[in-house]
Structure 1
Amino acid sequence: MTTFGQNLKKARSAAGYTQQQVADRFSVTRGAVAQWESGAIYPDASRLGDIAEFLDCSLDVLFRGKVEQTEDAADHIPAMATFWMVAGIGQRGPAYRHWSQEAAKAEALRLAKVNPNVIFVVLEATSAFRSEEPRIIEISVDPDADDGIPF
């Protein structure tokens, strides 16, 4: 397996996609994705940016293996770790943690160039947790209340 193939497989797994889901997204066969991951063939260069965006990672991750988080690494993140995430307004939620603000900004700029009609923001988090049963709080607002808030 080549470095690119290994990195692609790690990024796909970290994003939670199967080979079939990647294949469906890029109109190729599952076998083609398996060959990308084994290093037998490479995707067209014109698709690399789209693949990185779909997997919510950078090209640096795919080519140089600078994977900042893998499934195993999630268990070793300190409770108060600071990290940054890139979110596209109206897009699916971010899933990739950047361990430096500069890396997140660079990724936001790259995504903005690829998707000029989407606004990307960099979010900073000082802690995070994963819950199988999220707590939902419903807030009811009286639109006629005079609370001093203009909206």
Structure 2
Amino acid sequence: MKNNLATNIRSLRKEKGLTQEQLAEVFRVTIGAVHKWEAGLSVPDISLLMEMADFFDVSLDVLVGFTVRDNRIGALAGRLRKMTDTQDPQGPQEAEKALKKYPNSFKIVYECAYLFRAFGLMFKINKEYCLRSIELYEKAISLISQSSDPNIDATTLYGDLATIYMAMGDYDKSLEIYKAHNAGYIFNDRIGHLLVSKKEYKEAESFLSYALVNQIGNMVNLISSKALCYAGKGDFEKAKEILDAGIKFNALFKKKGVLCFLDRIDCLYLTGIAYAELMLKNKDGAKDHLKKAKKKAEEFDAAPDFDARRERFVEIDEPCLAFDTTGETCIEGIESTIKLLESKELLKLWKSINT
């Protein structure tokens, strides 16, 4: 808790036009005592503070300059997060105070766990803070039923917990936690990383390959959505750019001479570029891209194969299906994309090509 007593004594004294010596005479103390008050090295006793407040015609709380902080759970949690983000050195101390006040509040326990994790892992490992964070994450998991934050559940907490063990070098414990709580395969990449660290390459390859397939799928969704967002805002140049970037990204994961699911995705990207070209009054460009989409679609549809193992760097034993929901065939996917874009002109152009 902070107060502004030293500053207030000095400013109030000056407002009355008094020197430190004169103020000392008023309150029957030494000049040295006044100097210490104004330097924040000591404080007057309570009876003298009351006398001083009366002399300066202010209330005691105004003299001291103390403001009561909002210590309700929400406000306190917010202050703890700010201390974490700014690496405020008072953070750990304030966290312990908060835990004494609200020992069984999920929000407070979680914020303190997060704070100690950040302080424990930032720049160099602080074992004391890491162990405290582990203790608090375990408690937060037991209180998870209180959480109203849709971004936090037991799985995310276990993930944070495993991260701390990994940073501390306890790979076995970290791996145990990740594997036990790998819902939706969200920790495949981390499990693979740990297995590589343990030189268990064969098992690592499987987890990393599945993680790669998921990441490629995520990128497809991201690029498609970004392009639609740009188009919706009327920024067709950026829509073209990101779809072109998507085609180049896909190329990184294609095996030479082997058609794969990413070729089907390219057809959808090319259709999107055709739409952007059309909106930019470049009908010839739009037609060229639709022709490329049609040619690639016909090649894929001649021997469709959705097995992700046809993609580069995916090395797993079991079949792994990659799919989208735009249509059974690649040609149907193009037509579905045109329908989504609601462009009669693009549809007309497509019909002139696909006859």
Scaled to the shorter chain, the TM-score interval is 0.3 to 0.5
Normalising by structure 1, we get a TM-score of 0.39
1 or 2 for the larger relative contact order (CA 8 Å, sep ≥6)?
1
Higher strand share: 1
